[in-house]
């Protein structure tokens, strides 16, 4: 059974068809890059997988369950600007919020919760900053907090929304190694990104999305420039083709 199964999914927002006939699978131990232009529906799809946006038709299966049933097993890393960084909490507390759904709103974290948070901090190399206020962190440190917050759930499926945007090279390398380790351990990862060379280098498969799936395959299988031009809705883009290292 795949960790994620998306079958003929359509999403409509404010009367506008945002996604239609989307089919996508992510297996355990697989990292898939979700690629497409702005407005292609990438973030909408991620939020639908989380159960935050209802689908108009089709089906979403996460380990054989729907998003509402699987909510406590999905790790989600939003874009950094979506998190409230001026809230007066420390790093460990922020990471613990990732387990709120499992702990419950009126219960205190137990030993298992503390262990999961400690493990997550270690995996992103933030143990030395565990007591620092989150408002004092650098951009790279903030991104690692968000990743640790998702990992505190010990998820089977990890959803990443533009995890490398605006990061320095050392942080990119830390996260790239971490994601590689997670897939080796059986975690399924679906990642939206605009960093096409990095996606081609680190992902097992790429899913090109523009309101529907235009193409899906390994980076080696998606070397045809016409596929990328069709996915991005352009007739010709030297910058796009150069970033991919392909020629027409």
CA 113, CA 103: separation in Å to the nearest integer?
8
Contact call for residues 91 and 74 (beta carbons, < 8 A): no
pTM: 0.91
Q: How many other β-carbons are positioned within 10 Å of the β-carbon of residue 223?
A: 14
The CATH number linked to 23 is 3.40.50.300
Contacts of residue 139, Cβ cutoff 8 Å, sequence gap at least 6: 80, 166, 167, 168
Q: Among residues of the chain, what percentage have pLDDT more than 90?
A: 71
User: Residue 27 belongs to what H/E stretch?
Assistant: none
Domains contained in the chain, number: 1
pLDDT at 247: 52
User: Residue 242 belongs to what H/E stretch?
Assistant: helix 238-244
pLDDT band at residue 235 using 50, 70 and 90 as cut-offs = low
pLDDT at 163: 93
The predicted-structure confidence for 58-111, as pLDDT tens digits, reads as follows 999 999 899 988 888 899 999 998 888 988 899 999 999 998 877 766 778 889
Q: What is the mean pLDDT of the chain?
A: 91
Mean pLDDT of 136-149: 96
The predicted-structure confidence for 15-36, as pLDDT tens digits, reads as follows 899 999 999 999 999 999 999 9
What is the span of the domain harbouring residue 231?
4-244
Q: Is 224 helix (H, G, I), strand (E, B) or coil?
A: coil
The sign of the torsion formed by the CA atoms of 196, 199, 201, 204 equals negative
- Angle at alpha carbon of residue 179, lines to 176 and 182, rounded to 5°: 150
Tokens standing for residue 69: 């049933």
Lowest-pLDDT range of 40-44, 81-85, 147-151: 81-85
């Amino acid at each position: 059974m795949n960790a994620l199964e998306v079958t003929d999914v359509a999403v409509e927002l404010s009367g506008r068809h945002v996604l239609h006939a989307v089919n996508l699978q992510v297996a355990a131990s697989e990292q898939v890059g979700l690629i497409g232009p702005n407005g292609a529906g990438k973030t909408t799809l991620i939020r639908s997988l989380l159960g935050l946006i209802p689908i108009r038709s089709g089906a979403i299966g996460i380990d054989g369950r729907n998003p509402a049933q699987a909510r406590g097993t999905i790790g989600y890393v939003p874009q950094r600007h979506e998190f409230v960084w001026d809230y007066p909490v420390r790093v460990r507390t922020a990471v613990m919020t990732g387990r709120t759904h499992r702990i419950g709103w009126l219960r205190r974290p137990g030993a298992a919760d503390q262990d999961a948070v400690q493990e997550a901090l270690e995996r992103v190399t933030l143990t030395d900053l565990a007591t620092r206020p989150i408002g004092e962190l650098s951009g790279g440190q903030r991104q690692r907090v968000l990743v640790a917050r998702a990992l505190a759930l010990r998820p089977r499926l990890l959803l990443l929304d533009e995890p490398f945007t605006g990061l320095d090279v050392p942080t990119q390398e830390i996260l790239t190694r971490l994601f590689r380790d997670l897939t080796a351990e059986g975690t399924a990862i679906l990642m939206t990104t605009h960093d096409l060379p990095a996606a081609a280098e680190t992902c097992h498969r790429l899913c090109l999305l523009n309101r529907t799936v235009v193409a899906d395959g390994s980076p080696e299988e998606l070397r045809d420039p016409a596929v990328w031009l069709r996915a991005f809705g352009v007739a010709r883009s030297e910058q796009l083709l150069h970033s991919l290292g392909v020629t027409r």
